[in-house]
Amino acid sequence: MRPRPFALFNADMSLPPTPRDTKDWTWTLERRCPDCGLDASEVVHEELGMLIRDNADRWQPVLADPDAAQRPRDDVWSPLEYACHVRDVHLVFAERVTRMLAEDDPLFANWDQDQAAVDADYAGQDPAVVARELADAAGTVAGLYDDVAGAAWLRRGRRDNGSEFTVESIGRYHLHDVHHHLWDVRG
C-alpha cells in the first residue's frame, strides 16, 4: 500500500503520523501507473461519469468489512481513512470542475489533505455513513462529467503549484486518484 501524506495525530492523539507523499502525480495523465495499473491517457472522457460511479460502488464492500477502521500498519491509512479521503476528493473535484465550467482559467487554492484528515477525524468516522457520503459525492461529480459536452472539455484551470488542467485531464487525473486508492486498500 502506498502510504498517504503525513497526517498529524487525530484530535485525541491516538494515531501515529503517516509519511508525506511528495510526488507530483500528474505524470499519471501520460502513462500507465505501475502500481494500480490504470492508464488514464486511455480513458475516454465520455466514460468518466460511469467510471467514477463504478469506483464508488466498489468502495461499498470495503466499508462493509468489520475491519475497515483498522490500519494494516501504523504508518498506512485504514480502508476507512482512505474512503474518507476519496469522498473528499470527489467533493474537491466537483468544486473544481464546476469552477472550470463557469469561470475562465480559475486558480485552485491548495487543498491540505493532511489537515482535512485531522479536521474531519477520518479514523473516527462511521463506515456506513462514509459509504453513503462517498456514493453521493461520486454521483454528484459523475453527473458533472456526464453533462460536459463539446469544447467544454477543453476549458482550463490551474492548481496553485502551476499544474494546468483541462476539464478532460482533471477528470482523468481524478479517476486515477480514486482508482489508485481503491488499489491501495485492496492491493
Q: Could you tell me if residue 143 is inside a domain?
A: yes
CATH number of the domain at 77, please: 1.20.120.450
Q: Could you tell me if residue 145 is inside a domain?
A: yes
CA distance 166 to 160: 15
CA distance 61 to 20: 28
Q: Could you tell me if residue 21 is inside a domain?
A: no
131's grid cell: 459509504
Supply the DSSP symbol for 159: E
State the chain's mean pLDDT as an integer: 88
Q: Could you tell me if residue 106 is inside a domain?
A: yes
CA distance 37 to 86: 18
Q: Which residues lie closer than 8 Å to 99 by C-beta, 6 or more apart?
A: 106, 108, 157
Mean pLDDT score, 32-53: 95
Dihedrals φ, ψ of 96, to 5°?
-70, -45
Q: Could you tell me if residue 26 is inside a domain?
A: no
Q: What is the dihedral of CA 178, 180, 185, 187, to 10 degrees?
A: 150
What is the model's pLDDT at position 171? 97
47 has a pLDDT exceeding 90: yes
pLDDT class for 24, splitting at 50, 70, 90? low
What is the model's pLDDT at position 15? 56
Domains in the chain, number? 1
Q: Could you tell me if residue 27 is inside a domain?
A: no
Q: For 96-142, write each residue's pLDDT tens digit.
A: 999 999 999 999 998 888 889 989 999 999 999 999 999 999 999 99
**Which range marks the domain in which residue 71 is found?**
51-186
Q: Could you tell me if residue 55 is inside a domain?
A: yes
Mean pLDDT score, 60-69: 97
Handedness of CA 59, 64, 65, 68 (dihedral sign): positive
Q: Could you tell me if residue 28 is inside a domain?
A: no
